């Protein structure tokens, strides 16, 4: 029986580089910087992130999914430290990455993400871009980008028709194979917030109902979340996770990560979901009993 362990973390929001100040900023970045200085730097802590990653690595997963927002306002000098941090999580062959809206915060540096992390966003064809496909045995990891620059006070995402068409072609090509398919995206498929939602979520859900995957992983909302998308062949679990660096946030859970144990038997695929993270202390614990998805 094939057994594969997939870890999932998101939204590390690494600290802004030293000496960042308002004189370097304009428009949307200035608002983001002020938000960081006023409260976010107290919530998103590097020591919390480092402890969580160490605990994750101690679980020895076969692969790690990181669903975006490595940065805060996508300054040019945020990218190199983000690359260094990601390399500390694991090598590119063991870590799959998709960008978040904070990684494409403004148009002037939106191109830097692909330039900085090409090997972490490349499929088996070794070409960086979205969608990508990575096969790990019978596990198919598919990454898409919902990260687009937006106006101030908005954090929406969009795949767009070109990426959706490529994703549908890819999924359709895999439909005849016995694979456990995992889709990575930053934005959740359903959101109550108009200014944070995936703008073409209805189109993506309709696509997945035609060509299903077995699991969707996302970040963005900084909360534990599990919903299911009904398809003609069964329901697709869609699972979110809190920020990997959050602590003492009065509105959202503290840092956590997901662990999925995927096994293949004669009767099909099984996926067990566990959650580890901080809870009311500086200790990382199992936050809930294992659950079969």
pLDDT digit string (tens) for 27-69? Answer: 666 666 666 667 777 789 999 999 999 999 999 999 999 999 9
Distance between CA atoms of 101 and 198, rounded to whole angstroms?
11
Distance between CA atoms of 139 and 181, rounded to whole angstroms?
6
Distance between CA atoms of 35 and 182, rounded to whole angstroms?
34
Q: What is the pLDDT of residue 193?
A: 78
Assign domain 3-13+25-292 to a CATH class. Answer: alpha beta
Q: Which residue has the higher pLDDT, 251 or 246?
A: 246
Distance between CA atoms of 33 and 27, rounded to whole angstroms?
10
Chain segment 98-149, per-residue pLDDT in tens: 999 999 988 878 899 999 999 999 999 999 999 999 999 999 999 999 999 8
Q: What is the pLDDT of residue 94?
A: 98
């Amino acid at each position: 029986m094939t057994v594969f362990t997939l870890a999932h973390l998101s939204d590390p929001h690494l600290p802004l580089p030293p000496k960042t100040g308002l004189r370097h900023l304009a428009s949307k970045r200035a608002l983001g910087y002020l938000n960081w200085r006023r409260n976010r730097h107290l919530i998103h802590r590097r020591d919390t992130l480092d402890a969580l990653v160490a605990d994750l690595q101690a679980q020895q997963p076969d692969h790690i999914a990181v669903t975006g927002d490595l940065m805060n306002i996508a300054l040019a000098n945020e990218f190199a430290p983000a690359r260094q941090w990601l390399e500390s999580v694991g090598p590119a062959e063991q870590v799959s990455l998709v960008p978040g809206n904070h990684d494409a915060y403004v148009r002037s540096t939106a191109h830097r993400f692909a330039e900085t992390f090409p090997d972490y966003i490349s499929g088996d064809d070794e070409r960086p871009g979205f969608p990508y496909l990575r096969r790990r045995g019978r596990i198919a990891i598919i990454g898409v980008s919902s990260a687009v620059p937006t106006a101030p006070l908005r954090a929406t995402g969009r795949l767009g028709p070109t990426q959706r068409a490529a994703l549908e072609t890819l999924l359709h090509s895999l439909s005849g194979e016995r694979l456990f398919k995992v889709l990575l995206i930053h934005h959740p498929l359903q959101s109550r917030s108009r200014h944070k939602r995936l703008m073409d979520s209805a189109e993506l859900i309709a696509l997945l109902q035609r060509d299903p995957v077995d699991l969707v992983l996302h970040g963005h909302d900084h909360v534990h979340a599990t919903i299911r998308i009904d398809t003609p062949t069964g329901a697709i679990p869609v699972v979110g996770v809190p920020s990997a660096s959050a602590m003492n946030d009065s509105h959202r859970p503290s840092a956590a990560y997901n662990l999925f144990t995927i096994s293949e038997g004669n009767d099909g695929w099984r996926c067990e979901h566990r959650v580890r993270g901080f809870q009311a202390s500086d200790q990382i614990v199992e936050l809930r009993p294992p659950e079969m998805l």
